[in-house]
Structure 1
Amino acid sequence: MTKRPGPGAAGPPPGRRRGPDGRAPRGSAGRDDKSGPGAARASGHQTGGGPRSPGGRADGAGRPGGKGSASRRPARGASRKGAEHKAPERKAPERKATERKATERKKAASRTASRTEAPKGASTKPARKKPPAGGAPGKGARKNGPGTARNGRSGGSGPRPPGRGPRGRVPFHRRDPMKRLNVGLLAVAFVLSLFAGRLVQLQTIESGKYTEEAMRQRMQEITLPAVRGDITDAKGNPLAMTVEARAIYADPSLIRSGKRQAVVNALAPTLGLNPATLMKQLSKTGTRFVYLAHGVRPDQARLVTSWNFPGIGTLPEYRREYPNDSLAAGVIGFVNDTGKGAAGLESSLNDVLAGRAGWQRVEISLEGQHIPMGEDQKRPSVPGRGIRLTLELDLQFMAQEAIEKQVRATGARSGTVIVMDPRTGRLLAMASAPGFDPNRYAESDRSRWGSPLVQDAYEPGSTGKVVTAAAVMEHGGVTPQTPYTVPYMIKKYDVKFHDSHPHAPERLTFAGVLAKSSNVGTIMASESITPQRLYQTLRDFGFGQKTGLQLPGETPGLLEPPNKWWGTDRYPIAFGQTVSVNAVQMASVYATIANGGVRVAPTLVEGTVGEDDRFTPAPAPQRRQVISRKTARQISDMLEGVTTDEGTAPKAQIKGYRVAGKTGTAEIVNPRCGCYRGGGYTASFAGFAPADDPQLVVQVVLQDPKRGSHYGGDAAAPVFKDVMSFALQSQKIPPTGSRPPIIQIHARD
C-alpha cells in the first residue's frame, strides 16, 4: 500500500513531465494511465471547471470533498458521452459507505469555505488523502479549485452521479437571487394587504361616513327669497313695492390671494361697500359661499359679472323701492340690506309682508358650477301679503308739503300733521318733518328713521282743556253759560298759576274760558270734580295708553294716578301740563268729541292683500261711548268760538265752512334743570269740520318754533287751515250752509 504525501508535499506524481513554467503539459498525464476511473479525466475532460492556481496546481486541490482531488466518481464528460472505460461496479454496502463519507466531506467543506479563508501566502495544497475503496484515481487526474465541486460551486452542489443519496441543506446567502425575490414578493404582498384593508375600510365599514362628508362638501344651500308684499294707500297707489334685484356672492376658495385686492378695488366703489370689510369676506376660510351685497340693481349686477372675476357670482332676489321718496317715510319705514324691515310698518309688520323664504340645496363642483344631474332639493318660497293702508296719497302729499313749509318758516325743531275720519277712526294722512328718503336711508340721520307721530311725547297744553271741559260738564254740573270771574293769576298753596297774557279780572262764561284758553278759569272750573274723576276722564279719552297702531316705538305718554300726584299737580293737569301725549292720542281726543262722544280707536291698516289680490279687511276698531252726545255737542259749539275773531285762532277759519278747534301753547321741560325755563314751546292746533257735521279732524303740532310767534293760534292754525281746506275738497265734502251758534263768551250779571 502506497503511502500518501503529507501536507505541503511538492512535486507531481511520478511519470508526469513538467513544462518550462513548472506545469504538467495539458493532456499528457492521462495518456500513460488508461486504467481506473481517472482515465476519463486524463483524456482531456476537466470536471472541476475552476481556474488553475499558479505553480501548476488546481485551486483548492487536496481539500476534503473538493472535486479537484482524486475521486471514485466517473467524470462528467465520460458519463454523458459514453466514455470507453467505465468504472467497475461496486457492491451495494461499499457504495453506501462511500456516499455517506462523501456527504460528510461535502458538509465539512461547505462549513470550512463559509468560515475560513486560506492565509495569504500559505500553500493551498492540502495533504493527499487516501482514496476511497473501489479503485485509485488515475495518475494524471486534474485537480479542481479549492473546495469547489465539478460545477464550480462549493459543497458539491453539482449534479449527482447515479446512485447517490439526497443532497444536504443549502445555507442561505444574500447573493442568492431566488431568496431575494421571495423576500421582495412577501414585502410587496404585505404592503398590498395594507392597501386592501384600507380600501375595505373606506368602501364598506366607513363608506357611509365618507359619503355623507363628500355630499356635505358638494351640497350648497341657496336661499330662495320670498316676494315681499307691497304697501299701498287706500286706493291702491304704491307706497312701497318690490322690484327685481340681484345678490352678489363670493366663493373665497376660488379667489387667489394675489387677486383679492383687484376684486376689492372693483367691487367696493361699485356696490358702495367698505373695502376692509370686503377684504375680510373674500379671505374667509372653511366656506365656499359668502354674501357680499343684497338688492343690487340688475344693471350693476351685469357690470359685475362682465368682469369675469373667478369666485364672484350673482343670485336673483328682490329689492324694496319707495316710489314717492320721503312721502310718509316715518309711517312706512324701510327695509335694510338684509331684506328685513328696520323701521315703521316695514318693521312692525315684517312677518306679514316678508312671507316665508324657501331654500334649494344643489351640488356644486370644485369650479363653483351647478352640477345639473346632481342632488337637488327644494322648498319653494311663500310670497308675503300686501298691506293696504287708510292713508290717501294726494292728501298725504299735501299734509307733508304744508308741514315741511311751516317747519322751515318757523325754524321749528319738528312738526307733524294728522288727518283723521272721526266716524271710522281711519287715519287719512300722517305727515312729519323733517323726514328722510327710505331709498337712501343710510345717508340720513338715524334720529329721523322713527315716526314722531307716535314716538314723541309732548305736553298738550291748552288743547288738553277739552278733556277737563268734558269732565266738569259731564260730572261737575258745569254748563257753557256757567260764569267765572277770572283773574290773571291764581295762587294754590304756594304755587302761582297765570294766563298767557296779563289782563284785568274778567267775567267769563265757561264757554268764554275755553274760547280765550284761560288757565286760571280752567283751574276754577276743575275744582267742581275730584282728582280721581279728572284722572278717569283722561284715561277714557286715551291718555296714558297706546293707541293700538301697529307702529314701532309708540309711547303711551305720561299720566300718573292721583295717589302719585303732588299737592298742586291736579291744577296744571287740568290745563294740559304735567301730562304728556303723542300726536295721534291728541287727534283721537278731538275725533271723539266730533263723533258725538264715541271714541273709535285710530286705524292705520285697512287690511291685507293676498297673492291672488284678494282683500282681507282688518278687524273693526273698538268703539266706546266716552261722554254723552249732548256734552259732545255743547263742547263742539264752544270750540267754534275759538275760531271766531274773539277766540285765539281766527287764522283757522275756512270760508264757507263751520270750523271748531282749540289752540295749544305748552312749555317744554328743559332737561338741563328739569324745569320749564328755557325749554321752548310746543305750538299746536286741533279741530274738525264741518263743525255741525264733523267728517274730518286735523291736528297740527310744531315743536319749539323759533321764528315768529310761538303760540298755537299763530304757528299751527295756518297749517290747519291749508290742510283742512284741501281735505274737504279732495273728499268732496260740501259746506253744510247752516248758521253757526252764537257763543256767549262774557257772562251777564
Structure 2
Amino acid sequence: MRGPGGGGGTRPPRPPARPAAVLRLGNPRRRINVGLVVMTFVLSIFAGRLVQLQGLDSKIYTAEAAKQRVHEETLTARRGSITDANGHELAVTVEAREIFVDPAEVEAAKRDQVATVLAKELGEPKERVAGLLANTASRYQKVAVAVPSVAERIMAHGFKGVGSTHRYRREYPGGDLAGTLLGFVGDAGTGLAGLESTFDKVLSGRDGKQLVETGAAGQRIPMTRSTQQAPVDGRNVRLTIDRDIQWAAQKAVGEQVAATGARTGSVIVMDVQTGQVYAMANAPELDLRNWAKTPQENWANRAVTEVFEPGSTNKVITAAAALESGAVRPGTAFTVPDRIRCADQVLKDSHPHATERLTFSGVVATSSNVGTILAAQRIGDQKLHSMLERFGFGAKPGSGLPGEEAGLLPDWRTWSGSQRCTVAYGQGVSVTALQTASVYQTIANGGVRVTPQIVAGTTTGNGAFTPSAPGKKTRVVGERTAKEVTAMLEAAVSEQGTGNLAAIDGYRVAGKTGTAMRYDPSCQGYCGYTATFVGFAPADKPRLVVLAVVQDPREGYYGGEIAAPVFKKVMTFALKSLKVPPTGTRPSPVRIRAGG
C-alpha cells in the first residue's frame, strides 16, 4: 500500500450499493372504506339540506316563492249612476283606458314622435306629454284617460314604453246641468263634492281582487291558479229632480243674472204635497266637465249653503202668527204711515206714501213694512219667534244635502229695540233659499210642512228599487190660517199687489216679493240687495212652489221686477211639463183698502 505521497498506492474500497426501493401498494379494501366514509358524509349533508328545504322549512320557501310569483290585482267596482226622476242619467260611469308611459323604455330618437301622437289623440298639450317623457328617472307616468277606441289607435302604433290599462271614467252628459247639486268625482274615483260625496259609499260599491301567477317579466303564466273575489258594483241613486224642469230653471236664472249684472242667483221648484224637489238651480252653475278649472267658491250649492236676509217674503210668517193668535183678521184695519219709530231707529215703508188705511190683507198684498210692524206688535216678540221656529228658521231643512245651513234666528230675548220691528219684515234673521221655499210649501199645503226631499231612492244592478222614506210631515199652522194667507198672497200677484209680473195667464198664482238689504262681509256691512219672489200655483189647488232669488243685481233691485219674471218663466214651464191644468176658478175678491 502506498503512502499519500507515493504514486502507486491502491484506492480505498467503495461502499456497498443500496438496495433498490420497493413500492408498496396500499390496502385496496382500506382505501375503498375511506372513500365510502367521505361520500357518505357529503351525501348526508345534501340529504339533511333536502330534508330542511322540503320538510322542515318547506312552508317558508313556498311562501317566499309565492310572493315572487303570485300577484294581487284589484278588480274595480263600477260606480253607480245618478239619474233624474224619470231615469235620465245625470252622472254615469263608462269604460275607459288609462294611457301611461315608461319614460326609460321610450327610445330617445322616438320621443318627439311619441309625444306628437299622444298629444293629438288625447287632446293634450304636446309640451306636457314631452315633459312626462323626459322624466326618465320614473318608470310610470300617467298621461290621460281615454275612451277605448282612442286607446286602441294609440296602442296600434306599437310604441315601446307606451301602455294602457282598464279603468272606469265618470261622465256628466248634461255638462253643467245640476252641477253644484251633483258634485263630482276625483281621479281616485271618490266623490269630492255634492251628492257624489254624500252618497259616495252607496255609489262606489266594493272593489274585488284576484290573485294571478306571473313570470319574471310580469307576463301571466298560462294554466296556473287564479283566485278571484268578484267586485260588487255600486247602486244607482235616483233623484226627485226632473231633467227638463232643471234645465228651464237654470236657463231662466242664468239669463237674469247676466242681464242684471247680479253676483249669483238660485231657483228651487218643489212639489207642494210631497216636498220633493224638481229643480235646484244656481247661477253661475258648475260645469262638471271642467270642475278642476272652476274657482272653488263656485263648487257650493248656493240654494242650501248661501245665507241671506229674506226681506218681505218673511211677512207671511208674521201674518200667520198674527192670524193664529187671533190678534188680527184679514179685514182688520190699520192706519199706516210711511215710517215708524222703533227704539232709536226710524224705519221706512217699502215706498213713500201718505198715511193710509189698509186691511191686514192689504198690508200683505202691498208689502207694507210699517203695517207688518203694527201687526207684529199685537202678538209680541216671543210668539213671533215661536212661529219662525215652527216654520223651520234656525234649523237645517233636513234635505240631507251637503253644506246645508240652518240660517240665523237670534233668541227673542236678545233682540235689540229696532230688531223687534225689522224681524217682522225679514231683516235681522237669515235663511237659505231652501228654507224660504219650505215656508211657502207649508202655506200651500194647508199649513203642513213636509221635509224637503231630493233623493227618491236607490236601485241595485238587477233593477230592484228601494224608495227613500217620505218626508216628515209637521202641522205648523191651521188650515184656516193657511187659506187666509193664501188669499193675501194671491192678492199680492194681482194688479193691486207688488208681484203682478209673476201672474200667469189661465192660472191662479199666490206669491210674495222680497227686497232686502244684503249683508256682505267684503264691505263689512250692508251693501247691495237680495231680490226674491216665491209663490205657488194653482193657488186654489196648489201643486208647485217656485222660488227665485237674485243676489246683488246692478240693474234694478226690487224683487217684483228682478225675481218675479224668473218665477213666471220657470213656473209656466213646470206647469206645462207636468201637465198641470188650470183649475178654471176665479179668486174671491180681497179688500185692500179699509174704509174710514
TM-score (norm 1): 0.71
Distance 1:671 1:10 in 2: 148
The answer as to whether partners of 1:311 and 1:368 remain within 8 angstroms in 2 is: no
Distance 2:218 2:135 in 1: 17
Once the two structures are superposed, the pairs formed by residues 9-88 of structure 1 within 5 Å of their partners are: 14=10, 69-71=15-17
CA distances 1:82-131 after superposition (whole Å, capped 9, x unpaired): xxxxxxxxxxxxxxxxxxxxxxxxxxxxxxxxxxxxxxxxxxxxxxxxxx
Of the three residues 461, 465, 469, the one matched with 1:619 is 469
The residue aligned with 1:422 is 272
Residue 448 (structure 2) pairs with residue 448 (structure 1): no
Please state how far the C-alpha of 1:284 moved relative to its aligned partner.
5.3
Question: Letter of the aligned partner of 1:410 in structure 2?
Answer: T
Of the three residues 673, 685, 708, the one matched with 2:533 is 685
Distance 1:291 1:476 in 2: 74
The residue aligned with 2:393 is 543
The residue aligned with 1:670 is 520
Once the two structures are superposed, the pairs formed by residues 637-652 of structure 1 within 5 Å of their partners are: 637-652=487-502
Distance 1:615 1:426 in 2: 17
Higher relative contact order (Cα pairs below 8 Å, separated by 6+ residues): 2
Distance 1:590 1:746 in 2: 25
SS at match of 1:341: coil
Distance 2:548 2:402 in 1: 21
The residue aligned with 2:86 is 235
SS at match of 2:576: helix
Please state how far the C-alpha of 1:261 moved relative to its aligned partner.
6.9
Of the three residues 685, 689, 695, the one matched with 2:543 is 695
Please state how far the C-alpha of 1:219 moved relative to its aligned partner.
3.1
Please state how far the C-alpha of 1:13 moved relative to its aligned partner.
8.1
Please state how far the C-alpha of 1:150 moved relative to its aligned partner.
6.0
Distance 1:216 1:295 in 2: 31
Distance 2:271 2:247 in 1: 17
Distance 1:217 1:259 in 2: 34
Please state how far the C-alpha of 1:449 moved relative to its aligned partner.
2.1
Residue 580 (structure 2) pairs with residue 730 (structure 1): no
Distance 1:712 1:223, change over 3 A: same
Distance 1:453 1:624 in 2: 22
User: Greater shift after overlay, 394-403 or 363-372?
Assistant: 363-372
SS at match of 1:439: coil
Question: Letter of the aligned partner of 1:212 in structure 2?
Answer: A
Distance 1:397 1:327 in 2: 7
Distance 1:448 1:278, change over 3 A: same
Distance 2:378 2:449 in 1: 24
CA distances 1:634-661 after superposition (whole Å, capped 9, x unpaired): 0000001111112111111111111110
Distance 2:168 2:344 in 1: 65
Of the three residues 319, 330, 354, the one matched with 1:469 is 319
Once the two structures are superposed, the pairs formed by residues 75-154 of structure 1 within 5 Å of their partners are: none
Please list every run of 5 or more consecutive structure 1 residues that lacks an aligned counterpart in the other structure: 16-60, 63-67, 72-148, 152-157, 161-165, 168-181
SS at match of 2:513: strand
Distance 1:279 1:542 in 2: 58
SS at match of 1:588: helix
The residue aligned with 1:721 is 568
Residue 429 (structure 2) pairs with residue 573 (structure 1): no
CA distances 1:125-151 after superposition (whole Å, capped 9, x unpaired): xxxxxxxxxxxxxxxxxxxxxxxx666
Question: Letter of the aligned partner of 2:464 in structure 1?
Answer: R
Matched residue count: 584
Please state how far the C-alpha of 1:582 moved relative to its aligned partner.
1.2
- From the CA coordinates, give the structure whose radius of gyration is larger: 1
User: Greater shift after overlay, 511-520 or 266-275?
Assistant: 266-275
Residue 175 (structure 2) pairs with residue 328 (structure 1): no
Residue 549 (structure 2) pairs with residue 704 (structure 1): no
Distance 2:106 2:69 in 1: 20
Distance 2:303 2:524 in 1: 24
Identical-residue share of aligned pairs (%): 48
SS at match of 2:273: coil
The answer as to whether partners of 1:294 and 1:337 remain within 8 angstroms in 2 is: no
The answer as to whether partners of 2:359 and 2:592 remain within 8 angstroms in 1 is: yes
Please state how far the C-alpha of 1:588 moved relative to its aligned partner.
0.8
The answer as to whether partners of 2:334 and 2:357 remain within 8 angstroms in 1 is: yes
Distance 2:219 2:486 in 1: 73
Once the two structures are superposed, the pairs formed by residues 338-417 of structure 1 within 5 Å of their partners are: 338-417=188-267
Distance 2:257 2:569 in 1: 14
Distance 1:428 1:200, change over 3 A: same
Distance 2:204 2:554 in 1: 43
The residue aligned with 1:560 is 410
The answer as to whether partners of 1:247 and 1:291 remain within 8 angstroms in 2 is: no
CA distances 1:364-400 after superposition (whole Å, capped 9, x unpaired): 3222212223442221111111111111122222112
Question: Letter of the aligned partner of 1:222 in structure 2?
Answer: E
CA RMSD of aligned residues (A): 3.6
Please state how far the C-alpha of 1:623 moved relative to its aligned partner.
0.4
The answer as to whether partners of 1:234 and 1:390 remain within 8 angstroms in 2 is: yes
Of the three residues 353, 359, 362, the one matched with 1:512 is 362
Distance 1:294 1:600, change over 3 A: farther
Question: Letter of the aligned partner of 2:82 in structure 1?
Answer: I
Please state how far the C-alpha of 1:700 moved relative to its aligned partner.
0.3
Distance 1:302 1:485, change over 3 A: same
The answer as to whether partners of 1:293 and 1:337 remain within 8 angstroms in 2 is: no
Please state how far the C-alpha of 1:280 moved relative to its aligned partner.
10
Question: Letter of the aligned partner of 2:16 in structure 1?
Answer: A
Distance 1:710 1:194 in 2: 98
Distance 1:189 1:447 in 2: 83
Please state how far the C-alpha of 1:666 moved relative to its aligned partner.
0.8
SS at match of 1:438: coil
CA distances 1:290-319 after superposition (whole Å, capped 9, x unpaired): 683675311332244334455653332222
Distance 2:582 2:97 in 1: 53
Question: Letter of the aligned partner of 1:378 in structure 2?
Answer: Q
Residue 75 (structure 2) pairs with residue 224 (structure 1): yes
Once the two structures are superposed, the pairs formed by residues 486-505 of structure 1 within 5 Å of their partners are: 486-505=336-355
Distance 2:363 2:306 in 1: 29
Question: Letter of the aligned partner of 1:723 in structure 2?
Answer: V
